[in-house]
Amino acid sequence: MWRMARPRKPLLSRDRIVEAAGALVDSEGLEAVSTRRLAAALGVSGPSLYNHFRTKDEILDAVADAVSARVDLSMFSSEDGRSWRLALHDWAHSYRDALSDHPNIVPVLARGPGRRPAGLRVADAVFGAMTEAGWPPAHATRIGALMRYFILGSAVGSFAGGFVDDRAAYDPSDYPHLGRAHLLAERQHEVDEGAFETGLTALLDGLAIQYEALKGTT
């Protein structure tokens, strides 16, 4: 019986395109993504990509949404039982971990969720959990925005990584308070993680004060 031979390469799909584009973004940055580069990586002709995505921006949106889909939202479930503060804390770390693995896609995520399903689920989960915890809708919206600003900002670059490990680069006559700045580079992870947790704690402390004040007025 005659049977059709299997294709040598897997058929082109949205998932394959997103995976290839994501790998390219991770290794070379946003500007490296083009239909020509993607087609070559996938072993297909350029026009075939347009059967799945109309534009390069749509591809990058899909890559960004794939990263958003990795963020844990279970702490916002009504069955979870975590306080709003602990839920925000744990979600912030999950979100930052996802971004830390794919920092080059952060500028696309910073544009907002738009129509991206996973991004919208994130926004919906945060807003829903905050209003259910008793925050007024306007405040819940601001909290969602504030958390995004803080988390995305933390993923844009490393503070500690911005210093070189050369003591001579920081002449005390010019920078009298940077005598140990050359040590920051080798402690990049420790410094950046500590800074994130310090900022997150301060942010949540401030929100807790506002929350108690709002409860006192009702």
pLDDT (tens digit per residue) in 163-201: 999 999 999 999 999 999 999 988 888 999 999 999 999
Give the model's confidence band at 1: pLDDT under 50 very low, under 70 low, under 90 confident, else very high. very low
Distance CA 174, CA 35 (A): 49
pLDDT computed for residue 185 by the predictor = 85
Distance CA 12, CA 114 (A): 26
Give the closest residue to 30 by CA, choosing from 103, 82, 130, 90.
Answer: 103
pLDDT computed for residue 62 by the predictor = 95
Give the closest residue to 9 by CA, choosing from 35, 44, 51.
Answer: 44
Q: What is the largest CA-CA distance in the chain?
A: 86
pLDDT computed for residue 4 by the predictor = 46
Q: Report residue 148 as tokens.
A: 């995004």
Query: Within 29-160, where are the H helices?
Result: 35-42, 56-68, 84-101, 106-109, 117-132, 137-156
- Decide: 116 and 61 in contact? Cβ < 8 Å: yes
